[in-house]
Chain A
Amino acid sequence: MSRPSNRVLGTILIAAAAFGGTFLDAARQRIAHEPALQHTEALVERLRLSDIALFTEARYTRHLSQADLHSAFQDHPVALEHFPSGSMLPPPQTLLKRHEPLDREAAPSD
């Protein structure tokens, strides 16, 4: 092991083994987390939840999927969206793409 190449390749090999280890650990954790995920799924279904509680700071970030398209800007016209988590969310073009254009397809009511 005195050759420098042995030391270098040995280090790379150990790092590669650790890299492979992350995939094994991921598989182990996926199995371990499965019951909790199932419970969460069941809770969502039972309580009729629609969103994850990741950003609790504002209405439109707490219930992202329920917020209407302009709720982030509705405080007054041309209001700037001011909650930090808003900047973590995709920009309006994506917002528009996410919503089904049902309103454009529906026939006008009499």
Chain B
Amino acid sequence: MATLEIHDLHVTVETGDSATGAREILKGVDLTVKQGETHAIMGPNGSGKSTLAYSLAGHPKYTITGGTVTLDGEDVLEMSVDERARAGLFLAMQYPVEVPGVSVSNFLRTSATAIRGEAPKLRTWVKEVKAAMEQLSMDTSFAERNVNEGFSGGEKKRHEILQLELLKPKIAILDETDSGLDVDALRVVSEGVNRVREGGEVGTLLITHYTRILRYIKPDFVHVFANGRIAESGGAELADQLEAEGYDKYVKGGATA
């Protein structure tokens, strides 16, 4: 059973200001995500939620200054970005990057080949992609466009979830996948995530600012992220409490701590 274990994770980012130097954003994060579980991480802006997502994926902007991250006992922090992906980590990004000159179909196939360790058989692959795209209400012409180039916000998110469905990771981190989506797009994207979850083989880390997406994707655990660490954990009922009360008490608590 796949398990992602984050223990006492500290992360800094260069501010680009020599006087300030590096600023600590994550201040001791502890979290364990097991296959089949869905964890929602909620918190106010600037609390470090996205930093957690990008640090786990290995973005070069962030420096790990303490703690450990393991996937099935393997040291994730020692791995390069692509090694982490091949080990089974997937990050659906809030702002997916445009890659001019690379078609979606070429990108998906190259990626699937890297993740699966061999090129998928062309015939079954074409069917697989087509079916996944249909389920996400994506037009087939999408495959011929360049990766994220000129995509609308909704198209970018669908494209991220398309990859999630095709790459079948052990651990999926969804960074504010709900942001900027209208209700219809949110439903389509959430259904995609749920299809993957129903397989029972993925552990999901759902990072969000709003409770709206949790109406479609039911979490097993909810964590409140504030001031660079998890301030409180609970079940789905914690989301309802946040919906009613907001983040105020955590933000204030962080400020006085």
Q: Do A and B come from one complex?
A: no
Which B residues have a C-beta under 8 Å from some C-beta of A? none
Which A residues have a C-beta under 8 Å from some C-beta of B? none
